[in-house]
Amino acid sequence: MISNSSALAQDVDSLFFEELNLDIPDKVTINNIFIIGNQKTRKNIILRELNFSAGITYDWEELVSILAADQKKIFNLQLFNSVELTPLITGEEQIEILITVDERRYFIPSIIFELADRNFSEWWTNQNRSLKRVNYGARFYHNNVGGRNEKMRLSAQFGFTQAFDLRYSFPYIDRNQKHGLTTQISYLTNKTISVRSAENKQVFYTNENEDVLRRLFSFFGRYSYRGSFYNFHFVTLGYNNIQINEDVLTQNENYFLHNDTNLRYFLASYNFRHDRRNYNSYPTNGALLDLGITKFGLFGSDDFKDWEFTGIANRYFPINSKIHAASGLYATAFVGRRQPFTSVRGVGYNPNFIRGYELNVIEGQQSIVHKNSLRYNLLDLEYDISRISPISGFSNFPVKLYFSANFDHGFVNDRNNIPENLRLTNKYLFGYGPGLDLVIFYDLVFRFEYSRNNQNEGNFFINFKAPF
């Protein structure tokens, strides 16, 4: 359960003061903090999100706002189905805080059955709905290994892309819960790969013998620092080793830019992230700022050397209880004039796209996209399925449906002016149209949109995550 501050204030005032014929106090002192429902999660993981402490006196209105904000922070740990923070009156200007959580199921084996393409419309239209372009396998998540919000993911994937990866994240490795570590190791192979783009669409290639055309081994380690509730710092060190079949160079001699079938390089990056969104998977209030810089090639022997700068600035704000607006700006820029094809950026690759251009890739060294939505909440329900659910931790089934009016625009700068892609590069682009967004089980988003672009092209598009 998530409430905004005004709703929480009204509920608390009504429940604890008006019904008891008590005056709302100007100040209250918190004597104790109790947590119930956390069978697996350690108390300190929850307490880390609190902006209040026992033994401290607060202005009542200030405390109500703090409780509402902390409720959202605990929910965004993605460990609980619901979170409630309840003040309990114990005396004149004396309260205790009861935190009630309903834990999710943490160990989640899942079947991989997903499209290998950039989006559903790319697969449906450009790739003729080919079932050869489907990935399948198994993925195992444990989202709270030791009760400290550690996250482990193990994947074994087959089909269009054969991939194996292991990821383990420690959100906190110190007593003060400020420093964390994440590691990941991955290996994947492809028999069909995109070797270039033409007419602003990907060109895929498979050789006659259906040999493996690309092998990728990667490893990275990430250090994180959370100095305050909403500000995060990340420093990442990584290594990529990409091998291709020599037939790939017959399709694109500049695939790696250095006339070799192996691309090896180290990289280092720094990201600053300010995240005050009320709901990570589908925000309706708050803001997100993410700024990053990456250095490709740390040593003289590295095959790829360049700098990349990225920026994301999103704002979500409610207009009334039913309507909210969302606006997001995304920008990326390489310093170098050319990059290996495996590092090409632009519009059409997540998270950077413009509605109406889902069937296209617009590639270049610099891009900027501004996305906008006005959304109306058509449906907001929650069903109790505890009697029929065979899985503990899935007792509620929330359903939300939004009608959206959307407008995106942007620009991609291609310094090389590749002739076969000039229709959309180095031009102002925009797209617009209505949509329906379905949000279920807290994290699952389905979007159904009809969009037109400024090339006078219109189409129906299906996507499986929030646009930004």
What does the alpha-carbon distance between residue 19 and residue 15 come to, in Å, rounded to a whole number? 6
Confidence at residue 196, expressed as pLDDT on a 0 to 100 scale: 92
What are the strands of the beta sheet with 94-103, ordered from one edge? 57-59, 27-36, 94-103, 80-91
Confidence at residue 2, expressed as pLDDT on a 0 to 100 scale: 46
The tokens describing 372, both together, are 């906008």
Q: What are phi and psi of 85, to 5 degrees?
A: -115, 120
Q: What is the pLDDT along the chain (468 residues), one digit of tens a residue?
A: 444 444 444 444 444 455 455 567 889 999 999 999 998 999 999 999 999 999 999 999 999 999 999 999 999 998 998 899 999 988 888 999 999 999 888 777 888 888 888 888 888 888 888 888 899 999 998 888 888 899 999 999 999 999 999 999 999 999 889 999 999 999 999 999 999 999 999 999 999 888 999 999 999 999 999 989 999 999 999 999 999 999 999 999 889 988 899 999 999 999 999 999 998 889 999 999 999 999 999 999 999 999 999 999 999 999 999 999 999 999 999 999 899 999 988 999 877 899 999 999 999 999 999 999 999 999 998 887 767 766 555 667 889 999 999 999 999 999 988 899 999 999 999 999 999 999 987 678 999 999 999 999 999 998 888 888
Residue 274 lies in a domain: yes
Instruction: Answer yes or no: do 87 and 180 share one domain.
Output: no
**Is the distance from CB of 383 to CB of 401 less than 8 angstroms?**
no
Q: Residue 22 belongs to a domain with what CATH number? A: 3.10.20.310
Instruction: Answer yes or no: do 91 and 135 share one domain.
Output: no
Q: For tokens 């990941």, what's the residue?
A: 184
Instruction: Answer yes or no: do 173 and 84 share one domain.
Output: no
Instruction: Answer yes or no: do 153 and 76 share one domain.
Output: no
343-355: b or e for each residue (b if 16 or more CB lie within 10 Å)?
Answer: bbbbbbbeebbbb
Confidence at residue 118, expressed as pLDDT on a 0 to 100 scale: 84
Instruction: Answer yes or no: do 131 and 178 share one domain.
Output: yes
Instruction: Answer yes or no: do 116 and 39 share one domain.
Output: no
Residue 346 lies in a domain: yes
3-state secondary structure the chain: CCCCHHHHHHHHHHHHHHCCCCCCCCEEEEEEEEEECCCCCCHHHHHCCCCCCCCCEEEHHHHHHHHHHHHHHHHCCCCEEEEEEEEEEEECCEEEEEEEEEECCCEEEEEEEEECCCCHHHHHHHCCCCHHHEEEEEEEEECCCCCCCCEEEEEEEEECEEEEEEEEEECCCCCCCCEEEEEEEEEEEECCEEEEEECCEEEEECCCCCCCCEEEEEEEEEEEECCCCCEEEEEEEEEEEEEECCHHHHHCCCCCCCCCCEEEEEEEEEEEEEECCCCCCCCCCEEEEEEEEEEECCCCCCCCCEEEEEEEEEEEEECCCCEEEEEEEEEEEECCCCCCHHHCEEECECCECCCCCCCCCEEECEEEEEEEEEEEEEEEEEEECCCCCCCCCCCEEEEEEEEEEEEEEEEEECCCCCHHHCCCCCCEEEEEEEEEEEEECCCEEEEEEEEEECCCCEEEEEECCCCC
Domain coverage including residue 189: 107-463
Residue 219 lies in a domain: yes
Residue 201 lies in a domain: yes
Indicate the residue type of 424: L
Confidence at residue 5, expressed as pLDDT on a 0 to 100 scale: 41
Q: For tokens 């900027």, what's the residue?
A: 368
The separation between the first and the last C-alpha atoms of the chain, rounded to the nearest angstrom, is 23
Instruction: Answer yes or no: do 56 and 173 share one domain.
Output: no
- Number of neighbours of residue 416 by Cβ within 10 angstroms: 13
Where among 75, 103, 131 does a domain terminate? 103
Instruction: Answer yes or no: do 86 and 157 share one domain.
Output: no
Instruction: Answer yes or no: do 139 and 72 share one domain.
Output: no
Where among 103, 132, 150 does a domain terminate? 103
Q: How many domains does the chain have?
A: 2
Q: For tokens 């094809």, what's the residue?
A: 341
Residue 197 lies in a domain: yes
Q: For tokens 């069903």, what's the residue?
A: 383
Q: Residue 211 belongs to a domain with what CATH number? A: 2.40.160.50
The tokens describing 352, both together, are 């950077």
Where among 85, 103, 121 does a domain terminate? 103
Confidence at residue 210, expressed as pLDDT on a 0 to 100 scale: 86
Please name every residue paired with 165 in a beta bridge, in sequence order, or none if there are none: 155, 186
Instruction: Answer yes or no: do 316 and 220 share one domain.
Output: yes
Residue 468 lies in a domain: no
Instruction: Answer yes or no: do 383 and 284 share one domain.
Output: yes
Instruction: Answer yes or no: do 162 and 270 share one domain.
Output: yes
What does the alpha-carbon distance between residue 21 and residue 23 come to, in Å, rounded to a whole number? 7
